[in-house]
Amino acid sequence: MDREKRLLALRNRLAYVEDVFGPDGNDSIRVLKARAAEFLERLPHFPQADVEREFRRIEELLDFSEKKLEKELTPMDRVRIVRHPQRICLKDILENVYDNYSEIGGQGEYNIDPSVLIARAIISRRVGRRVVNQPVLVIGHEKGHGEEFRNGGSAKPWGNAKALHYMKVAETENIPIHTYVFTPGSYPVEDYPGAAQQIARNLYEMSALRVPVVAVFSEGGSGGAEAVALADRRIMLSHGYYSVISPEGAAAIEGRLRNGQRADSALVERCARQLAITAQDNVANGYVDRVVQEPPLGARPDHFEFFKTLRREILQATNEVVSSVKSMKLFRAMALSSRTHRKAALDPESIYVRWDLSNAARDRLLCKRYQRFRDMSHHAYRDNRTFMDKIRSGLEPLCWSLHSFVSYGLARGMRKRVRDLAEEVSAEAFLISERVVRPARKALSRFSGPDQPRAELGKRAKEALTRLSCPEEGACINGDSWVWMSGRAREDRAVSCPNARTHGCPDLWAPDLFSEFAGVCPCCGHHFSMEYEWYFYNVFNYAEAQEFNADIESGNPLEYEGFDAKIEQARKRTGRKSSCVTFETSLDGVQVVVASLIAPFRGGTVGAAEGEKFILAAERAQKKHYPFIAYVHGTAGIRIQEGVNGVIQMPRCTLAVRRYIDAGGLYLVIYDTNSYAGPVASFLGCSPYQFAIRSSNIGFAGPGVISETTGMPVPPNYHKAYQALSRGHVHGIWDRREIRKNLYQVLLTVGGRNLYYR
């Protein structure tokens, strides 16, 4: 019996190795296979005494080969390990790491989204003579060892909504959250609430979640991972990967493949290597705090030693987070920190820190969380500001804060009080004049007769009715009034409206269309896309704007092959140094800070430089108490060539935006042309005020990706702004010719309490 078990285990290990390295494998696998086959063949013929010895020999060989293979693992091998059905999954962790748990929010298939698993778990431990039970909320993706209904751990929007719901529960109950990321990416469907919108909501809420969060990464694919991974400590399993996109996806983009063509494995391998997706890379870049060492070739459910390590690491991480913000800690903090430096005998199990937090500690927690993410990814962009500029950018915020404090905090309170008083008094005065003065005058006029002859009255009225009203009172036609005109307005050609078949629009003459009509078909209202300069000059008053941080440049942090040339090309073409342009401007007298993503620069993708500029702009708006407008001329998502340096901008910028909104600002997002993926699913999609310009597209993934991942045809108009409007993602659709009017209206009517003009 024992022999049978050992044989089965042996066969499983062999099959696993074969699975991971593929059938054609390398030399050592071939040798191993041959030896194993030989062993199996000869097994029945071994004398009873030798069986044990032979078994040990072949197991030792297997151990040795696994260790050897482990040393040679390529990033792509790690991806295959992580995706293997025998890989540990969340259920295994719940069974082995926690002492007790109950699954909530569904069971197995009977679940709003079986790919997201939520459990209340208990960690029990002995402290001195007492046993303490510490509750935590566990949230994570469940792959279920390849069960079909788990959808491979790819969470649907409502699964993420469920996760968010229980995060709020944990916040109410004041218990820490442990999240486990086992997802290849979010499931890209746009049914309510829509993948992008839900991830954005998750990020927005998590950025101010007032309980400690510890995230463990095994498989972290872009937005799907971020939806539960904005955490105070991020731990990664040593064989896991954390990436902006799956290596196959990157290869498909790199090789410009369409319609589900497969990229060849060499290209996939190269992309995986260049994207810096492994645990070691992520620790080196500072996006992950610690790596948990797994057994050779990855942890499987029977590696019980590994679960012990994991439990220790998680306890340690939670303790660290809590004690870093707690006021009552003294020696325990010292003990905790000393252990991180040298391998002391002190077990984290024996250090007991209560995991609930006081209000003050919660505030400190949020501050620390913001600072943690704020400090990330500074190596990933090129800061070409001069020394003086840097000093100035360090000092200026202080001045703004001081100025805001004095003029809006101190003086404003006074001014406001005076104004309120004046309003009250004048209302009183009006009432008195109505009740007393007017009847008196009426009575007087009865005695003296009508005070003016009627003809005189008529003449005055006539004067008022027939004179020319002042030009500043209203606009009259003044021809080609657009300040910036598209180059296309100089071509003598006719343009057909794409709705011509359904709406019968006549063909348009390019000079009319692109100058006077502002790129809008006068018949059906279709909006042709316009250059970003058009908006800058005609909407945002760019001629009088003050651009800042223009010298923060996009670089190539991962030394991605051939990307330097592409960046250089984009710079030459646009004359800008990153796809994010930030400036301060005045819209009809209201000072605002604008950050815009422009499509001509690498498709408006977001990398480290763009994220940094965005955050700096948000901070500037916060310090100056200005409204903050994000104008998205178009974005294709996160810049994949920057790998995790790009993905990390999702939580980073969301944190900055959240801080700005919580400080009482007005954060407004305007989408134009095509806006997809990461940015929409994070710092843009989380705004409470989002507007789209007509004929624009908004979504999580492009149609090609959707049909490839879901295997279903994409419905027509799936990404149209009107769809986003009907599922509540955007809150209004604007006509291009009226953006300025609408913008002014919005600035006056919506948004936070702390704007300078309120």
Partner 1 sequence: MSNRHKILIANRGEIAMRIMCACRELGHDFVCLYTPEDKYSGHVELARELGGEQSVYKISNYLDANEIFSVADQANATAIHPGYGFFAEDFRFARRVVRRDRPMIFIGPSWWIIRDLGDKINTKRIARSLGVPTIPGSDRPIYDEMEAESIATHLFEFQRAQDIRGGMVLVKASAGGGGMGIEEVQDPDQFRSVFRRVRNYAKRNFNDEGVLIEQRIFDFNHLEVQIVSEHGGKRHVHFGTRNCSVQSTGKQKRIEVAPGFAPAEVPYAFDADRVLDEITRHSLAMAEEVGYDNVGTWEWIVTPRGEPFLMEVNTRIQVENGISAAISRVGEQEHVDLVREQIRLGLGDTLGYDQSDVRFSGISIEYRLVAEAPERDFAPCSGRILRFQWQEAPWLKMYTQVPKNGAYEIPMEYDPNLALVIIWGENLQQARERGVAFLDSLILEGEASGHGFSSNVAFLKARTQGLLEF
- Binding-site ranges for partner 1 (CB under 8 A): 454-455, 457-459, 461-462, 464-469, 473-477, 479, 492, 494, 506-507, 509, 511-512, 516, 735, 738
Give the nearer residue to partner 1 in terms of CB position, either 41 or 492. 492
Q: H/E element holding 674? A: strand 674-676
Residues 6+ apart with CB under 8 A from 677: 196, 223, 635, 636, 637, 638, 700, 701
Distance, CA of 134 to CA of 136 (rounded, Å): 7
Closest CA to 62 of 80, 81, 40: 40
Q: Which is nearer to partner 1, 605 or 695 (CB)?
A: 695
CA distances from 170 to 52, 134, 204, 250 (A): 52, 13, 16, 36
Whichever of 386 and 466 has its CB closer to partner 1, that residue is 466
The answer to whether the beta carbons of residues 204 and 654 sit under 8 Å apart is yes
Question: Nearer Cβ to partner 1, position 384 or 496?
Answer: 496
In contact, 208 and 214? CB cutoff 8 Å: no
CB of 543 to partner 1, least distance (A): 25
Helix axes 265-274, 247-254, angle to 10 degrees: 110
Shortest spacing between CB 748 and partner 1, in angstroms: 14
Q: How far apart are CA 389 and CA 552, in angstroms?
A: 11
CA gap 277, 281 in Å, rounded = 6
CB of 469 to partner 1, least distance (A): 6
Minimum distance from residue 460 beta carbon to partner 1 (Å): 8
277: phi then psi, degrees, rounded to nearest 5: -105, -10
Q: How far apart are CA 283 and CA 278, in angstroms?
A: 9
Nearer to partner 1, 176 or 511 (CB): 511
Q: Which is nearer to partner 1, 56 or 460 (CB)?
A: 460
Least Å distance between CB 465 and partner 1?
A: 4
Least distance in Å: CB of 230 to partner 1? 42
Q: Quick one: which of 184, 179, 181 has its CA closest to 217?
A: 181
Between 228 and 489, CB nearer to partner 1: 489
Identify the H or E element spanning 595. strand 590-597
Of 332, 354, 334, 331, the closest CA to residue 342 belongs to 334
Instruction: Decide: 169 and 127 in contact? Cβ < 8 Å.
Output: no
| CB 744, min distance to partner 1, A | 13
Q: CB of residue 514 vs partner 1: minimum separation in angstroms? A: 13
Give 60 or 434: the residue with its C-beta nearer to partner 1: 434
Beta carbon nearer to partner 1, 45 or 467: 467
Q: How far is the CB of 509 from partner 1 (least distance, A)?
A: 5
For partner 1, the closer of residues 420 and 434 by Cβ is 434
Per DSSP (E only), the strands in 113-176 are 116-127, 130-141
Q: How far is the CB of 727 from partner 1 (least distance, A)?
A: 25
DSSP notation for 234-267: EEEEEEEEEESS-HHHHHHHHTT--TTPPPPHHH
The residue (of 139 and 743) whose beta carbon lies closer to partner 1 is: 743
* Residue 732 Cβ vs partner 1, minimum distance, rounded to whole Å: 14
Q: What contacts 676, CB < 8 A, 6 or more positions away?
A: 635, 636, 637, 697, 698, 699, 700, 701, 702, 719
